[in-house]
Chains A and B, each alone.
Chain A
């Protein structure tokens, strides 16, 4: 009998709130999928080692896992509160009807575990599928070279399973406890009666100033990270986190309240209502919004850095080699292929190998000077010197060894000298040609030259990893080194974004049941439907916008960190792209939240 009732009770909620459960469930699933996907990277040292030349990346990935774990926990906390908001009323009702609180506690414990467990399983399956898709799509798109990246990974499955189970058991216990210890009345009526904020204006002003000063100190610390090192990071974390909190607790509230006191604004349409909602909401949301602004900055920063690394691949590759590609003794078939490329410059130099010594035809260099990158300590701008044969003769040994490096495996040959046309013709020995090309756009045509380069590598028995003359080889090495960072930056950025936006979404939707009543009243007063929609869009928009604004400011100042530490060259270049991508995704979450919320509160 009791069992039957509890079962009925558990199912009754499901039926009435099918859509809400769907939102909740998909949210949990996504977070589990994201966690799993990151684990397939982090838990696969084989992948990490073979993809990067830096052992420190394993540490970086572990740091990433740590960050992801924290945000996942915060996120699940909001999702759980959403679940509670769906259930507490009906549970309280049954408690009032005489159901034993122990029974109900057991029930909510079970319910949380079951939902959680199903979400983990679905999440892992989704994670495997998504991993497969991403490794196909994204990696191809970005020229990422991710070897050994297999979608199915036992260790990742295990870690994800344990981590999420642990969290869900924690929340299940918390929910059960909460239900037993919270008075029924409070469960029944979760609506919080707004209380007036009694703020001392002097303290308030002080808080605003303190917030701004703290942020300024944090930004300053990031901009001087080259001198402050680790201390700077700690300093920035503390000041920016507390500064963000103060700004939300004081500055934004002050703006809203000052708007409330301007009749020309406040007494227009539903402004007074929207401002009133925001006034109370913001106070309730201070901590969440401050956290979101930080997470927003981390996510946007990660994407920016990811894209920065992507750009670095091209920038670094560009200055590493004198020419875009090189062919040794090309066949006519190879020359035909070269003709299909968009070339801006071609140089042909002759040399002979006689008794293990290399002799270059100096007239070739007078005819067509040799391009040489002058290293100037930075990656931009690149300056070339155009070296003629005459100039080479002045510093013979240096140029002979530079040219020697263009010949691949030189274990059996030594630099010989420069010969005039006459001397060259009479020299006995095998004659060779080397063709040096400059392309209009290396990055755009690198896939076309790839087969030519690979064949040439074989021909001259080149040690790919130590070669810097063939640009494509350099690209291969640099890409392998940086694409791991790039992938992680993009991945973490998007994962963070998805979760922080969902945190906001769940928080806002958890309040929808209480807000419904207010919109009912507005309808009765005669507010038109479009006006209500507009007011909701404005209110939720502000809640989404404020942390985004502060987050963008964090990023703009925070990127100084990469500039002064030289980790990324030109971190501010094309900043509009990551910000654009990010804001589009964020706006998508806003629209979804707005849509669901409207559906809920304006329902007839």
Chain B
């Protein structure tokens, strides 16, 4: 198996020269294999968002190296960085990040428009992905007119339409009710198993984590423990996670 993400000795310290320093990530090392569905768990303030922001190139590590699909993302700048974001990664956030003044369809099509793809192909790909995420009926609506679960699936469709190497999610179920959360996670599991899309989630929610195949626990800026689902069913895995969280976080 080849690894799609390799994080090596990543350190992140917040605060400028004369300000008070916060060490958000001390020394983080891990790899994600191609086709994996991996979760990173930790308490609030443990550095999950910091890590995901670094992976998604929104932020840069203070030191260390991150390879995604062969690119050393800490070295990317300018147009190379934009193109990397456009082609290699897709991400979804807790607050959806849909553009409010575009319809769902326009939102999903936007990354393809950036590539100057022909309108015909764009339409075809949008139709395809929205079927997969069961949002075909709401394509003409504006984000303000649809539910949270639909918004997150629209965001996922927009993240996936360019066929990125990996889908990154920061608490994607964080603002959803439990049934929409479950639907979204099932969809993601499907995408992972049928379409072989690599997925990395960060979450503090054991239910979300139980959909993953492997879970890394982060605490005080380092990865402290790893848990594999193997052939366990989801419910049992969920209980295993609960136990782990209790012992790990105390």
- Show the binding face of A for B, using Cβ within 8 Å: 193-196, 263-264, 266-273, 276-277, 279-280, 518, 521-531
Contact = CB atoms under 8 A, between A and B. Distances in A.
A272 B110 contact: yes
B99 A521 contact: yes
B91 interface: yes
A524 B91 contact: yes
A265 to B, nearest CB: 9
Given A267-B109, A526-B82, A273 B102 contact: yes
Contacts of B106: 266, 272-273, 276
B78 A529 contact: yes
A194 B103 CA distance: 11
A524 B110 contact: no
A268 B78 contact: no
B45 to A, nearest CB: 22
B229 interface: no
A524 B112 CA distance: 14
Contacts of B58: 524
Interface stretch (B10-18, B115-123, B237-245): B115-123
Contact of A273 (B78, B110, B117): B110
Contact of A526 (B98, B111, B120): B111
B62 interface: no
B100 A194 contact: yes
Contacts of A266: 106
Contacts of B86: 525-527
Given A267-B122, A525-B86, A272 B114 contact: no
Given A518-B101, A524-B97, A525-B110, 11 more contacts: A195-B144, A267-B109, A271-B113, A276-B101, A518-B99, A522-B110, A525-B111, A526-B85, A526-B162, A529-B78, A531-B114
Contacts of B109: 267, 272
A-B complex: 4 closest residue pairs judged by Cβ atoms: A526-B86, A263-B119, A526-B85, A276-B101
Given A193-B100, A194-B100, A276-B99, A526 B142 contact: no
A276 B144 contact: no
B83 A526 contact: yes
B15 to A, nearest CB: 17
A269 B82 CA distance: 14
Interface in B127-180: 142, 144-145, 158, 162
A278 to B, nearest CB: 9
A528 B82 contact: yes
Contacts of A527: 82, 86, 114
Contacts of B112: 267
A194 B83 contact: no
B87 to A, nearest CB: 7
Contacts of A270: 110, 113-114
A264 B114 CA distance: 13
B79 interface: yes
Contacts of B98: 521
Given A269-B113, A270-B113, A276-B106, A526 B84 contact: yes
A269 B113 CA distance: 5
22 contacts: A194-B101, A194-B142, A195-B144, A263-B120, A266-B106, A267-B113, A267-B119, A267-B122, A268-B116, A273-B102, A273-B110, A276-B106, A524-B56, A524-B58, A524-B85, A524-B91, A525-B111, A526-B87, A526-B114, A526-B162, A527-B86, A529-B82
A530 B82 CA distance: 11
Contacts of A195: 142, 144
A263 B102 contact: no
Interface of B: 56, 58, 78-79, 82-87, 91, 97-102, 106, 109-114, 116-117, 119-120, 122-123, 142, 144-145, 158, 162
B14 to A, nearest CB: 15
A263 B126 CA distance: 13
Contact of A529 (B79, B120, B158): B79
B6 to A, nearest CB: 22
> Would you call the interface of chain A mostly helix, strand, loop, or mixed?
helix
B158 A525 contact: yes
Contact of A525 (B79, B85, B100): B85
Nearest to B112: A267
Contacts of A267: 109, 112-113, 117, 119, 122
Contacts of B145: 196
Contacts of B87: 526
Nearest to A525: B111
Contacts of A526: 82-87, 111, 114, 162
B114 A269 contact: yes
Most buried by B among A266, A267, A527, A530: A267
Nearest to B113: A267
A193 B113 CA distance: 24
B79 A279 contact: no
Most buried by B among A273, A521, A524, A525: A525
Contacts of A529: 78-79, 82
Contacts of A531: 114
Contact of A263 (B85, B111, B123): B123
A194 B107 CA distance: 15
Contacts of A280: 101
Contacts of B100: 193-194, 518
A528 B86 CA distance: 9
A272 B126 CA distance: 15
Most buried by A among B82, B109, B122, B123: B82
Nearest to B93: A524
Given A196-B142, A525-B114, A527-B82, A276 B102 contact: yes
Contacts of B83: 526, 528
A238 B119 CA distance: 45
A277 B101 contact: yes
Nearest to A281: B101
A528 B79 contact: yes
A338 B82 CA distance: 73
A280 B144 CA distance: 13
Nearest to A520: B97
Nearest to B89: A526
Most buried by A among B58, B100, B162: B100
Most buried by B among A522, A524, A528: A524
A273 B119 contact: no
A539 to B, nearest CB: 11
A272 B102 contact: yes
B61 to A, nearest CB: 16
Nearest to B98: A521
A551 B145 CA distance: 37
A28 B210 CA distance: 59
A266 B122 CA distance: 11
Nearest to B111: A525
Contacts of A196: 142, 145
A377 B234 CA distance: 100
Nearest to B100: A194
Nearest to B90: A525
Contacts of B85: 523-526
Contact of B101 (A263, A264, A269, A279): A279
A268 B85 CA distance: 18
Contacts of A525: 85-86, 110-111, 114, 158
Given A267-B113, A272-B106, A526-B86, A193 B144 contact: yes
A280 B142 CA distance: 12
A528 B115 CA distance: 11
A468 B122 CA distance: 78
Contacts of A276: 99, 101-102, 106
